[in-house]
Structure 1
Amino acid sequence: MLYLNAAHIDELELDCNDIESAVRATLLQLHDGTTIAPPRVVMQTAASARFIAFPALLAARGIAGVKWLSLRAGAAPGEAAQTSALLLLGNATTGALEAIMDARWITLMRTVAVSLIAARTLADPHSRRVAFIGCGMQARAHAKWLARAFPLSRATVYSRREATARDFASELTAPGIESAVAASATACVADADIVVSSASTSSPNGLRCDPRALSEGSFVSLVDLGRSFDWTAANGFATFAVDDPAQYEALARDKHLPLYTGGAPQSLTALIDARQRDSTIRFAGPAALMPTGLGAADLALAALLREKALKQGVGLSLPDSVC
């Protein structure tokens, strides 16, 4: 059995195109039923620690497994939660556990890949103006991936910590790209073509972004599960897509995700299929993606990591008896 820690995974350096392709394939397999992702299991303790299990079966790849995520509340009010994640990858035919690995990088890359796939489908391909609400690891990873796919020329950032926003803005400044710090979340998204909201903590009501400030043709990836937006006005999204409709319905019903009241959420896979059939089609905006945390896509990336690790001799071999 293979064990991969964070350092092993960094050493493997998966190709961005391979990551995107694996996630896209998983989305399509969820749509056609060859991949199964039961609703996640969420448990919360009296001490505000949260444990979440993301099970999935990818029949086409012959794998099954689960990602185990734990979230611990910050020590002080407004402090980001502490996160740890582990993934168990099994053989769907034999039932054998084949790999255990750190899942933080997997979670980051899967999230970015889903955002990029949605942006390719819902955003203007000529998008030049990008906005970031939240300036952490997710924002930085999204900035790199979006720059590969769109002719970006301006970036506006917002964080409740101005120093954090200024640091991120300076990182984004490059030949052909201007960056600026906004005074509020709502000001940040004004005139943006693409918006990534990835705040690590919920914003007080008065500081949340008003979605009515979004440009008509804009696209928003709600990486922070909508905690940066005012949901009393969220029916202003003309197109509201989810990566896994069944997961979203269950999570919204149990109040783990905000409920969209502007109509029936649309399947991202169905929108991808419509765009593939007619490349000229444009979906009404502003458009938003609400990601549900695709455990199935996490497993697909874990399988890629395992395959490459075995070829390169990376990682530790554990005796099966440890299980």
Structure 2
Amino acid sequence: MSDEGFLYLPDGALEALGIAPGEVADAIEKALIQKSEGALHTTPKSALLPGDARYMMSTLAVGNAEDLTVLKQVSVCPENPGRGLPAINGAIMALDAQTGLLRAILGANWITGARTAALSAVAARRLANPASKSVAFVGAGVQASTHLAAFMELFPLEEVRVYGRGAANADRLCAEAKAKGLAARRAATPQEALEGVDLVVTSVTLDYAIAPFLDAGWLKPGAFAAITDLGIPWHQESLKAFGQAVIDEREQEAASERKMIPPEIVGADLTELVSGAKPLRYDPARPSCFAFRGIALGDYAATALVLERAQAAGAGQRVTA
């Protein structure tokens, strides 16, 4: 820590900045170009599953353009709601990339939700039908809410379907959608949720003990699925129904023992997609998907953006020795 100390930005302060989902997506696309040009360096995401359906992960990225090092640690603890706590908690350290001095400590919850939906938006901008009017959510937690906001910016949505194990969360998401002027209902079965919709978001608990219950063969031609949950709820063989499949990062996926989707169907990762190395586009004849674990680049891009906005707005608390 320098004599000037560091900036402390809890989640409430980050949310109060009013950054739109599309702005986070734009920041991620900028970072993907930087990575393709060698100006941004990342390591594969590190993750542990220590039991009780808990999921601990960390990401690390260094950017030359912003002279910034970003390290994030997040824990997903499914028992937390029963304790009166959010299921996801963590923190982000931002340091000067030239000196290693601490520049800021940030809450990780808002950034994790915002960057995850923004990663989906980056892929959906290219692979989904621009006229998409309906979306199905399998899983109705924080990620469903952030994706709803992001997809409402991108598409002329009219209808929301929700399928989830928790009635309270499903009802909450339906109420949230109705408050935004959308028609919303709970689906009785997974097949009812997926059949005929333009967009799908799956975000179930990250627990490999869950038996697969989704079939990509239910999707109509041209549908787009954002798979945020490591592919856990999907029957793996059915995923070959996707005509186009994108993952977040090839290096990270190669280093992962258990693959999210069959490797042979992967057509590009995000860097290849955005840089134009693999310019996939919306195909009305076949469904497409984006499967992702979350990448250090997303956390880096969102952190750099909020630091810029927070400093301009004088937000946060300066902590000195």
TM-score (norm 1): 0.86
State the match for 1:266 in structure 2. 268
Deviation at 1:284, TM superposition (A): 6.1
Which deviations, in whole Å up to 9, do the C-alpha atoms of 1:123-168 show, x marking residues without a partner?
A: 0111112111111221122112211211112221111234432342
8 A contact 2:45–2:294 mirrored in 1: no
One-letter code aligned to 1:314: A
State the match for 2:219 in structure 1. 214
Stretches of structure 2 that go unaligned for 5 or more consecutive residues are: 1-5
The runs of at least 4 aligned residues of structure 1 exceeding 6 Å deviation read 275-278
User: Percent identity, aligned pairs only?
Assistant: 27
Say if 1:100 and 1:166 are closer, same or farther in 2 by CA, change over 3 A. closer
State the match for 1:180 in structure 2. 185
8 A contact 2:74–2:91 mirrored in 1: yes
8 A contact 1:239–1:284 mirrored in 2: no
Deviation at 1:46, TM superposition (A): 6.6
Asked if residue 289 in structure 1 is aligned to residue 294 in structure 2, the reply is no
One-letter code aligned to 1:64: T
State the match for 2:41 in structure 1. 36
In the alignment, the residues of structure 1 paired with residue 130 and residue 55 of structure 2 have an alpha-carbon distance, to the nearest angstrom, of: 38
Aligned with 1:6 (options 8, 11, 28):
11
Say if 1:37 and 1:174 are closer, same or farther in 2 by CA, change over 3 A. same
Say if 1:175 and 1:4 are closer, same or farther in 2 by CA, change over 3 A. closer
In the alignment, the residues of structure 1 paired with residue 88 and residue 315 of structure 2 have an alpha-carbon distance, to the nearest angstrom, of: 25
In the alignment, the residues of structure 2 paired with residue 64 and residue 19 of structure 1 have an alpha-carbon distance, to the nearest angstrom, of: 18
**Mean CA deviation greater in 308-317 or 150-159:** 308-317
8 A contact 1:53–1:69 mirrored in 2: yes
Q: Name the SS of the counterpart of 1:68 in structure 2.
A: strand
State the match for 2:197 in structure 1. 192
TM-score (norm 2): 0.86
Say if 1:274 and 1:306 are closer, same or farther in 2 by CA, change over 3 A. closer
Stretches of structure 1 that go unaligned for 5 or more consecutive residues are: none
State the match for 1:205 in structure 2. 211
Deviation at 1:175, TM superposition (A): 8.2
Q: What is the CA RMSD across the aligned residues, in angstroms?
A: 2.9
One-letter code aligned to 2:291: M
8 A contact 2:36–2:271 mirrored in 1: yes
Asked if residue 314 in structure 1 is aligned to residue 301 in structure 2, the reply is no
**How many pairs does the alignment contain?**
313
In the alignment, the residues of structure 1 paired with residue 134 and residue 52 of structure 2 have an alpha-carbon distance, to the nearest angstrom, of: 42
In the alignment, the residues of structure 2 paired with residue 14 and residue 28 of structure 1 have an alpha-carbon distance, to the nearest angstrom, of: 21
State the match for 1:302 in structure 2. 303
8 A contact 2:70–2:299 mirrored in 1: no
In the alignment, the residues of structure 2 paired with residue 82 and residue 30 of structure 1 have an alpha-carbon distance, to the nearest angstrom, of: 31
8 A contact 2:211–2:233 mirrored in 1: no
